[in-house]
Amino acid sequence: MSDLETTLALEADLPAVQEAVAESDASLDRDGADPGVFWLTMRTCTAPQETFFARVAWSSYPHAPPSIKFADAPGGRLDLSGAWPVIPGYRPGQLDICQPFTAEGHAIHPEWAAGPEAWRSAGNPFLWVTLQLLHDIADRYQARSA
């Protein structure tokens, strides 16, 4: 469950995120159970029939990266590798994204706590994470995981 600071900071940054999502023909919905959890629905450019549902879960916003998982539907199962896109750095078999914009990536790489991969809480991290996901699905997508 998100704390009050996380909830308030997300509210302040949310309008810019919603604008970016709308410009990308995607959608963003807040999870009803936790104000720190959002569902980003995206389609690829190369396979527009493919739809992906990313669960973006903030535990300490803006101080730490979110957990990002893919599901079979908003609010759906998070344990299906077939719900994942094949994108470099995305690991459907491990159900994680090994990138500096995710909590999972930082858990795998504790050395990312410092240096160029360190989490930056300045600006609008929610927008930055969302733009990373939208860019990856639009420009780096290879296939749907089997």
- CATH number of the domain that residue 80 is part of: 3.10.110.10
pLDDT (tens digit per residue) in 57-73: 999 999 999 999 999 99
Is the confidence at residue 40, as pLDDT, over 90? Answer: yes
Q: What is the mean pLDDT of residues 116-135?
A: 97
Q: How many CB atoms lie within 10 A of CB 78?
A: 15
pLDDT (tens digit per residue) in 4-31: 999 999 999 999 999 999 999 899 999 9
Nearest to 101 by CA among 73, 78, 134: 134
CA dihedral 79, 136, 20, 7 (to 10 degrees): 40
Q: How many CB atoms lie within 10 A of CB 1?
A: 10
Query: How far apart are the C-alpha atoms of 112 and 132, rounded to whole Å?
Result: 17
Q: How many domains does the chain have?
A: 1
Give the pLDDT of residue 146. Answer: 87
Give the pLDDT of residue 97. Answer: 98
> pLDDT averaged over the chain?
96
Query: How far apart are the C-alpha atoms of 69 and 100, rounded to whole Å?
Result: 14
Is the confidence at residue 1, as pLDDT, over 80? Answer: no
**Model's pTM, two decimal places?**
0.96
Q: Which domain holds residue 8?
A: 4-144
